[in-house]
Amino acid sequence: MAKGIEELLPKLKKNTSQADLDRIRDAYECAQKAHEGQKRRDGAPFISHPCATASIIAEMGLDTDSIVAGLLHDCIEDTELTYENIKERFGEGVALLVDGVTKLGKIPYSSKEEEQMEDLRKMFLAMAKDIRVILIKLADRLHNMRTISYLPIEKQREKALETMEIYAPIAHRLGMQKIKWELEDLSLQCLDPIGYREIVEGLEAKRSEHEMFLEHIKDKISQRLEEVGIKAKIDGRVKHIYSIYRKMYAQNKNMDEIYDVCAVRVIVDTIADCYNVLGFVHDLYKPIPGRFKDYISTPKPNMYRSLHTTVIGREGIPFEVQIRTFEMHHMAEYGIAAHWKYKAGVTKQDGSENEFAWIRQLLEGQQDTDAEDFIRTIKVDLFADEVFVFTPKGDVINLPAGATPIDFAYAIHSAVGNRMVGAKVGGRIVQLDYQLKNGDIVDILTSKETYGPKRDWLQIVKTGEARNKIKQWFKKECREENIQRGREEFERELRAALLTNAFADEEIKTAVLKRFSFNSLDEMYAGIGYGGVTTTRVLNKIREELSRYNAKQDKLDPEKLITTRKAKTESSGAIIEGVDNCLVKFARCCTPIPGDEIVGFITRGYGVSIHRKDCPNAQSSMRSETEKDRWIQVKWNDGSMSDHYMVGMQISCKSRVGLLADIAMVFSNMKINVHEMTARDLRDGYTVISLMIESTGMEQFELIANRLKRISGVITVSRSLMENR
Ligand code: MN
C-alpha cells in the first residue's frame, strides 16, 4: 500500500468506526486503480494528491463521505470513472460531492477588478449546494499550492493569483483561519518571491530575539496564572508572513520598522477565565488604548470569537494577546468545518441546506458586520436566491435565480436585449425561457434586421430591469401600434365586461383616466398597449366608479325607468357636440326619428339618451335644478337616413270588421316592421291603436301616415308620446 493511505489512516483511527475505515480503504483502492499510471509533476504517483487532500479533510474533522469524496475528487475529471460508477459503489452522497468539486474546478478564472472578484467568490459559494464541496475544494487547492513549485512559472502565478483572490477570501469567510493563512503565504511566495524572501530572512535574522521575547512573556503570564489557579495553554508565535507583508505595504515600512510581529495566545477552559486572564495581562503589561476588542460578546461575522488586546512588552515593543476557550480556538482554526467535529455523533450530517440553518441563525443574530461583508454573502448567496453566469469574455453576471437568457441580455445592455434573436448556453442553442444555472457561459445572438423585443418576453423575464427595459422599448418605439393594440384590447374587454355604457359616461371616464394619470384616452390605450397598465385594472376602476355613481344617484335617474330595448336604433344616428364615439340611445318615451328636433341627456353610466325636444319628460327634466346641466345639444348624423329607428305611432279609428287587417296590409306593403301593436276600445265604437314600428325618419313616417289615412275608418295618425313610461 502506498504511503498516502498509511499517512491518512492513523489520523482517522480515533473518531472513526471500522465500517467507515473500510469505506475509506475501498475509496483509496478505487482511486488508486483509476489513476494508475498517472503521475504528478514532481514524479510521484498521482494517488498521492487525493490522499493528501483526504488527509487535510480528515484534519478539518469532516465526515466519512467527505474523506471518501476527497480520495475520489479527481476521478470524474481525469479518469474513466463516471458519476454513475461512483454513485453505484459509494452512494449518491459521495457522487454528488465529487461532481460538485469537479464543477467548481471548471469555473473559468481570470483576474478582474474587485467587484467582479466578489461575484466570482459568490458564484463559488452558490455553485456548491453543499458546503462540504467547498471544503473539499479548499483542501484540494491547499495541497496543490503546497506542491506548486513543480508547475511552470506562468502556471504558478496564475494559480497563486486565483488562490489569493478566490480561495483565501472564501476560507476567511468560512472562518477557516489556519487554511487561509497557509494559502496566503503559499500564494505570496509565488506572486512576490522577493518580498516574501525579504520577510522570511528578516524573521530568520531575528528568530532568537523573537523566541526569547516570546519565552519571557509566556513565562511571566503563566507564572501569574498559576498563582491564581487558572489552567491555561499559552502559545507564542510570529504572525504569518502575508499579514506582515500587508502591514509593510499599508504602512510603507520596511521589515525593521514593523514591531508587532509577535503574538501570544492564551487558551483556557471557560469564558469567565477569558476575562480573568485579560485582567491579569493588563495588570502585567500596559495596554495600548483602543486596541482591546471583545469578539466574545460580539463575535466576528465569520463566527470568530476571542478577546484581543495589544500591550507593551520589554523595551517598549508591542505585542498582541488573544484569549479564548478551547472550543473557540477550534472554531477559529477550522471555522465552518468545526461544525462536524462539535456536532459529530449528535445528528446525522449531510451538509444540506437545512443542516446550515444554525449558521444562518448565528449570522442573523449578528448586526455588527465586519469590513468583509460576510453576512450578506453567506445569507444571500450560500443559500442562494441568485445565479452567477459568464459572458463569453468571462465576465460574471449576477442574476436572481430563475433568470433567463433575456434577463442576461438586458443585464449586459438594453441594445443587446433589443436586438436579441436567440441564445446559446455552453455553445448550445437554448429556449429563451431556459433557466440559467450557476457557471453557465451565455452567448446572446443578435441581429440587426429583426429589431425589438417580443411582447411575450414580459411573461418570461425574471428581473425588473429587463421588464422595464422591454416596456420602455414598447413605449418609445411603437406608440401608434400601442394605441391601436391597446384600443382593440380595451374595447374588446370592455364589451365582454358589459361596461361599454359605463365608460361612455364622461364623469366615469375622467375619473378613470385621472386615477391612472393619463392625460388622454390615447395615452391610456398606449399604456395598455405596451403593458404599463393592464386592462383588468382599468375595468376594475370603471366598476368602482360606476357603483359609486349608482349608489349616489340611482333613484333620481328617470332613464332607469325606461326599458332599454336592443334594436338597430342603438347605432349612432345622432351626433353629440364635442363628444365622439359615444354610446347613443333613443328614448322610448318619445321615440325620436330623423326629422325631429332632438336633445341629449347624459345618463349615469349608460351613454347619452336622445329625446325629442318637445318630449314632456325632457321638458320637465330640463327645468329640474339637479338635472338641467346634463342636457346637451345633439343633432342628427347626415349619413344616418338609411338607419331604422323605433317610433311610436297612434291611430284613432272607428271600429269595423277587417280594419286591423287593412292597417296591417299597409305596413306589409311598405315593408315596415311592426314591433308592438295594442288596440284599446274607447266608448262609442271608437278605437285607439298604439304601435311601435321601425322607420327611417319623419319623411317616411308621414308617407305611412298618409297611406293609413286613406283606409276607411281611420281618423287620425300621429306620433305617440308615452308619458307614463
Ligand atoms: Mn485535485
Q: For residue 208, give every residue at least 6 positions away whose Cβ sits within 8 Å of its Cβ, in sequence order, or none.
A: none
Which pLDDT score is estimated for 603?
77
Task: Tell me the C-alpha distance between 349 and 345, whole Å.
Answer: 9
Task: Tell me the C-alpha distance between 649 and 585, whole Å.
Answer: 19
Q: For residue 238, give every residue at least 6 positions away whose Cβ sits within 8 Å of its Cβ, in sequence order, or none.
A: 203, 210, 261, 262, 263
Q: Which residue has the higher pLDDT, 54 or 472?
A: 54
User: What mean pLDDT comes out for the span 334-355?
Assistant: 53
User: What mean pLDDT comes out for the span 194-205?
Assistant: 92
Neighbouring-strand partners of residue 601: 609, 631
Task: Tell me the C-alpha distance between 41 and 68, whole Å.
Answer: 24
Report how far ligand 1's centroid is from the alpha carbon of 139 (Å). 9
Which pLDDT score is estimated for 665?
86
Q: Which CA distances in Å does 412 have to 392, 405, 440?
A: 12, 11, 15
Report how far ligand 1's centroid is from the alpha carbon of 106 (Å). 12
Which pLDDT score is estimated for 354?
44
User: What mean pLDDT comes out for the span 467-479?
Assistant: 81
Which pLDDT score is estimated for 605?
67
User: Hey, what amino acid is at 237?
Assistant: R
CATH of 645-719, one of 3.40.190.10, 3.30.70.260, 3.50.50.60, 3.10.440.10: 3.30.70.260
pLDDT exceeds cutoff 70 at 472: yes
Neighbouring-strand partners of residue 265: 235, 322
Where in 486-625 does DSSP place strands (E)?
Answer: 574-576, 584-586, 598-602, 608-612
Chain-centre distance for alpha carbon 469: 15
User: Hey, what amino acid is at 263?
Assistant: A
Report how far ligand 1's centroid is from the alpha carbon of 69 (Å). 11
Report how far ligand 1's centroid is from the alpha carbon of 228 (Å). 50
Q: Is the dihedral of CA 135, 124, 94, 79 positive or negative?
A: negative
Question: Which has the minimum average pLDDT: 5-14, 158-167, 345-354?
Answer: 345-354
Task: Tell me the C-alpha distance between 615 and 599, whole Å.
Answer: 10
Q: Which residue has the higher pLDDT, 658 or 386?
A: 658
Domains of the chain, residue spans: 3-176, 199-334, 385-476, 478-552, 558-642, 645-719
Q: For residue 72, give every residue at least 6 positions away whose Cβ sits within 8 Å of its Cβ, in sequence order, or none.
A: 27, 30, 31, 50, 81, 86, 90, 94, 98
CB 689 within 8 A of CB 677: yes
Report how far ligand 1's centroid is from the alpha carbon of 73 (Å). 6
Which pLDDT score is estimated for 226?
94
Say if residue 163 is exposed, middle or buried (CB neighbours under 10 Å; 0-12, 13-18, 19+).
buried
Please state the CATH superfamily assignment of the domain spanning residues 385-476 in this structure.
Beta-grasp domain (3.10.20.30)
CB 564 within 8 A of CB 725: no
Average pLDDT of every residue of the chain:
81
Hey, what's the cell of 440?
453557465
Question: Which has the minimum average pLDDT: 467-471, 549-553, 573-577?
Answer: 573-577
Hey, what's the cell of 366?
449578528
Report how far ligand 1's centroid is from the alpha carbon of 49 (Å). 7
Beta carbons within 10 angstroms of residue 119's beta carbon? 19
Choose the most confident range, by mean pLDDT, from 84-88, 472-476, 562-566, 668-672.
84-88
pLDDT exceeds cutoff 50 at 125: yes
pLDDT exceeds cutoff 70 at 357: no
Report how far ligand 1's centroid is from the alpha carbon of 142 (Å). 10
Q: Which helix (H) or strand (E) holds 614?
A: none
User: What mean pLDDT comes out for the span 388-411?
Assistant: 87
Report how far ligand 1's centroid is from the alpha carbon of 240 (Å). 26
| Nearest one of 410, 413, 421 to 447, comparing CA atoms | 421
Look up the CATH number of domain 3-176: 1.10.3210.10
282-331 pLDDT per residue, tens: 999 988 888 888 888 887 767 788 999 999 887 788 899 999 999 889 88
Hey, what's the cell of 557?
335617474
Which pLDDT score is estimated for 450?
63
Q: Which helix (H) or strand (E) holds 454?
A: none
Report how far ligand 1's centroid is from the alpha carbon of 38 (Å). 13
Q: Which residue has the cell 361612455?
A: 504
pTM of structure? 0.57
487-520 pLDDT per residue, tens: 988 988 888 877 887 888 888 888 888 888 888 8
Q: Which residue has the higher pLDDT, 570 or 136?
A: 136
Question: Which has the minimum average pLDDT: 13-27, 170-184, 432-446?
Answer: 13-27
pLDDT exceeds cutoff 80 at 425: yes
205-249 pLDDT per residue, tens: 989 989 999 999 999 999 999 999 999 999 999 999 999 998 888
Fold (topology level) of 199-334 = Beta Polymerase; domain 2 (3.30.460)
Question: Which has the minimum average pLDDT: 216-225, 288-297, 336-345, 347-356?
Answer: 347-356
Catalytic residues, which ones? 77-78
